[in-house]
Amino acid sequence: MIQVELPDGTLQEHPDEATALDVAGGIGERLAGATVAAVIEGTVVDAMRPLKQLSQADPIPLKLLTNRDPEALGVMRHSCAHLMARAVMRIFPGVGLAFGPTIDNGFYYD
């Protein structure tokens, strides 16, 4: 079992394989549906990765991010960049893509 500490100081116990989405689901179905990423020890992380793989802390400090959190914007832009790249590759077979970073006001692909 792992212990997770939420921003309000609440401590929760979860199975070793628990993800941030699992924690969100334990709090509420709507929160689980809105969670796009998490922050552990100051780093934005994938909400679907097991928490135990992301931190050795005990308890693991966890902040859930939804689309209302400014920190989630980079995650959403990154995902949108990949989605756009796949669409371009589908519309223009054989196209070569170099890289697709997020920037202050959005994202792009070269």
DSSP assignment of 48-93, as one string? TSBHHHH---SSEEEEEEETTSGGGHHHHHHHHHHHHHHHHHHHST
Domains and CATH numbers, the chain: 2-69 (3.10.20.30), 72-104 (no CATH)
pLDDT digits (tens, 9 = 90+) for 22-75: 999 999 999 999 999 999 999 999 999 999 999 999 999 999 999 999 889 988
DSSP-based three-state secondary structure for 20: helix
Q: What percent of the residues of the chain are helix, what percent strand, and what percent coil, each to the nearest 5?
A: 35, 25, 35
What's the pTM value of the predicted model, to 2 decimals? Answer: 0.82
Distance CA 85, CA 81 (A): 6
How does residue 99 score in pLDDT terms, banded at 50, 70 and 90?
Answer: confident
